[in-house]
Amino acid sequence: MAVQALDAARLPIHWQKLALPAALIAVAYGLIPAYASSYLVEAILLPFLALSLAAVGLNLLTGYCGQLSLGSSAFMAVGAFAAYNFNLRVEGLPLAATMILAGISAAGIGVVFGLPSLRLRGFYLAVSTLAAQFFVQWALTKFGWFSNDNPSGVISAPHLTVAGFSLDSASGRYLLSVTTVIGLTAVVWRLVNSATGRNFIAVRDNETAARVIGVPVLRTKLLAFAISSFIIGVAGVLWAFTYLRTVEPAGFNLDRSFQILFIIIIGGLASIRGAFLGAAFIVVFPLFLSRLGAFVFGGLFDSGVLDMSQRIVLGALIIIFLIAEPNGLSALFDRLRRRIGSRSS
Partner 1 sequence: MIGASLGAAAYERAPEISGILAGAGSVEDTRPALLSAKADAILTLSGIGIAFGGVKALSDVGLEVKSGEIRAVIGPNGAGKSSLINIISGLYHADHGKIAIDGQSFSRVPASHLARLGVARTFQNLALFGGLSVRDNIASGRVHTRRASFVEHIARLPRARREDAAIAEKVDQTIAFLHLEAVADRLVATLPYGLQKRVELARALVAEPKILLLDEPMAGMTATEKAEMAGFVRAARDRHGVTIILIEHDIGVVMGLSDRVAVLDYGRKIADGAPAEVRADPAVIRAYIGTAEAEDGEGI
Amino acid at 177: S
Q: Does residue 62 contact residue 129 with C-beta atoms inside 8 Å?
A: no
Rounded CA Rg of the chain: 21
Which residues between 11 and 40 bind partner 1 (CB under 8 A)? 11
- 3-class secondary-structure state, position 155: strand
- Angstrom distance (rounded) from CA 127 to CA 105: 22
Q: Does 119 bind partner 1 (CB under 8 A)?
A: no
Q: Does 227 bind partner 1 (CB under 8 A)?
A: yes
Amino acid at 79: G
Q: Does residue 154 contact residue 246 with C-beta atoms inside 8 Å?
A: yes
**Binding segment for partner 1 among 203-211, 231-239, 279-287, 320-328 (CB under 8 A)?**
203-211
For strand 246-247 and strand 165-166, is the pairing parallel, antiparallel, or unpaired?
A: unpaired
Q: Does 191 bind partner 1 (CB under 8 A)?
A: yes
The distance of closest approach from Cβ of residue 129 to partner 1 in the complex, given in angstroms and rounded to an integer, is: 22
Using a 10 angstrom Cβ sphere, with 0-12 exposed, 13-18 middle and 19 or more buried, the burial of residue 157 is buried
The widest CA-to-CA distance across the chain, in whole angstroms, is 70
- Angstrom distance (rounded) from CA 265 to CA 322: 8
**Binding segment for partner 1 among 136-144, 206-214, 253-261, 272-280 (CB under 8 A)?**
206-214
The distance of closest approach from Cβ of residue 53 to partner 1 in the complex, given in angstroms and rounded to an integer, is: 17
The distance of closest approach from Cβ of residue 131 to partner 1 in the complex, given in angstroms and rounded to an integer, is: 26
Q: Does 338 bind partner 1 (CB under 8 A)?
A: no
- Angstrom distance (rounded) from CA 117 to CA 111: 10
Q: Where are the alpha helices (DSSP H) in the chain?
A: 2-7, 14-26, 32-35, 38-39, 46-58, 72-89, 95-114, 122-142, 170-192, 195-205, 207-213, 217-238, 254-267, 272-297, 303-324, 328-344
Q: Does 223 bind partner 1 (CB under 8 A)?
A: yes
23, 24, 205, 305: residue in contact with partner 1 (rule CB under 8 A): 205
Which residues between 136 and 175 bind partner 1 (CB under 8 A)? none
The distance of closest approach from Cβ of residue 64 to partner 1 in the complex, given in angstroms and rounded to an integer, is: 8
Give the per-residue contact string, 229-268, with partner 1 (x = CB under 8 A; - = no): ----------------------------------------
- How many residues bind partner 1, per CB under 8 A? 33
DSSP 83-135: HHHHHHHSTT--HHHHHHHHHHHHHHHHHHHHGGGGT--HHHHHHHHHHHHHH
Q: Does residue 184 contact residue 56 with C-beta atoms inside 8 Å?
A: yes
Please say which residue, 137 or 228, places its beta carbon nearer to partner 1: 228
32, 108, 179, 211: residue in contact with partner 1 (rule CB under 8 A): 211
Q: Does 121 bind partner 1 (CB under 8 A)?
A: no
Residues in CB range of 292: below 8 A, 6 or more apart: none
Please say which residue, 156 or 206, places its beta carbon nearer to partner 1: 206
206, 253, 309, 327: residue in contact with partner 1 (rule CB under 8 A): 206
Which residues between 296 and 335 bind partner 1 (CB under 8 A)? none
Q: Does 2 bind partner 1 (CB under 8 A)?
A: yes
**Binding segment for partner 1 among 127-135, 202-210, 288-296, 298-306 (CB under 8 A)?**
202-210
The distance of closest approach from Cβ of residue 19 to partner 1 in the complex, given in angstroms and rounded to an integer, is: 20
19, 22, 27, 195: residue in contact with partner 1 (rule CB under 8 A): 195
Closest CA to 132 of 232, 254, 261, 258: 254
Residues that bind partner 1 (CB under 8 A): 2-3, 6, 9-11, 187, 190-191, 194-199, 201-202, 204-206, 208-217, 223, 227, 270
